[in-house]
Amino acid sequence: MDIKSIILAAGKGTRMKSETSKVLHEIMGKPLLGYVLDNVKNIASENFVIVGHKAEQVTDYVEKNYKNSKTILQSPQLGTGHAVSMACKYLENFDGNILILCGDTPLITEETLKKFIEYHNSSNSDLTVMSAIFDNPTNYGRIIRESDNSLKCIVEEKDATPAQKAVKEVNAGIYCINWAKVKGAFSDLKTNNAQGEYYLTDIIAWGKNSGLSVKAYTMDENSEIYGINSRINLAEASKIMNQRTLSKLMTNGVTIVDTDSTWISEDTQIGTDTVILPFTYIEGKNIIGKNCKIGPCAHLRGGVEVADNIKIGNFVEVKKSKINSNTNVGHLSYIGDSELGERVNIGAGTITANYNPLTKEKSKTVLGDDVKIGSNTVLVAPVILEQGVNVGAGSVITKNIKAWSLALTRSPLRILENWVKSKLK
């Protein structure tokens, strides 16, 4: 059965205190919404992202990065049920399952979503809610079950009785619904609640009253539904995601010397026997090969491809570059928009000057195999150094250089003997 998703991303996020949409705040270089969209990319054939606050920002991000996704404006914003109803006109003839998620829950995983959908299908459910167990369920909607353990309803905290507030099973905010059977609920929702809004949770009661099969699936790891409502939440979610990523890498044969000071994005692939030294920060999408050594205090900014047997030294920054095997990048260097061949050695303090501040264009630096760059060199892009070129320390390279040449740009050394003593008299 075909699956499409509706992702709720219209909220203002007042507690973020930001001019940026809440769902566009980033963890390791990727917006929160990006994590959700990436985790449904292998599940849903099409995604509908409901936007509201800073809608232009969110729409621009979605259109540039996700071809199978469409944004829909919710204005005014009258609650979560109203948000989902915004997609109804695009789904009039759809006969499949709709997966409903929140755009501010970046920790949800594709594996959990697949288990959820499998449960929905195997149990012949028409409407399934994902739930989680919390020792402290404050601020979550409570899952209320019937005596036979089937789902009765979801009660928001503001509307809950003391007995209902004591329930530790909560709504995870993720739904799987048989659209053909449940779509009628969205024209029947009412606003008779403390907030005066159209609650998505009310489709549970509607489904039961309509004789549909309504169930709840309890997820394994409750941290996956951690929602972002403040900068404090953002920092905590970042830590959870990072530790999850580091654990996976170490399980797969990567050495992380200090897990407390190392940050690596979940979109970074790293080969076995690579060592990541402390205070290294790797964001965005990257591929790092086997038997590499990175750091300490290195920064990979995304779009980096590193082959096997590479050394990236301390205080080195690399961005949007390809580094081929057996190459060393010395400390205190910047490599951006570059391609480095095999067996290249980059001396300390080397800079690829890739940005033109007047045209705002970025140009490429290409170094062939066996190139050796002396310390404190500036390579002014666009520039190509062919195989075997050696560059003397302290040079500024502004032209292409033929293979096996030596390049030097040094002023003659002047020595004024006894100059210091003459000034001290």
Is the distance from CB of 23 to CB of 103 less than 8 angstroms?
yes
What are the φ/ψ torsions at residue 289 (nearest 5 degrees)?
-80, -160
- Residue with token string 């009310």: 202
Residue 220, judged by CB atoms within 10 A of its CB (0-12, 13-18, 19+), counts as exposed
338 beta partners: 365
- Give CA–CA dist 339/103, Å, rounded: 36
Helix/strand/coil for 321: coil
Please give the structure tokens belonging to residue 394.
């302290």
AA identity, residue 31 = P
- Give CA–CA dist 138/217, Å, rounded: 20
Q: Please name which of 38, 40, 58, 28 lies closest in space to residue 234, comparing C-alpha atoms.
A: 28
CB atoms within 10 A of CB 296: 17
331 is catalytic: yes
- Give CA–CA dist 246/305, Å, rounded: 19
Q: 53, 82, 299, 331: which one is catalytic?
A: 331
Q: DSSP for 242-282?
A: HHHHHHHHHHTT-EES-TTT-EE-TTEEE-TT-EE-TT-EE
Q: Which residues are catalytic?
A: 331
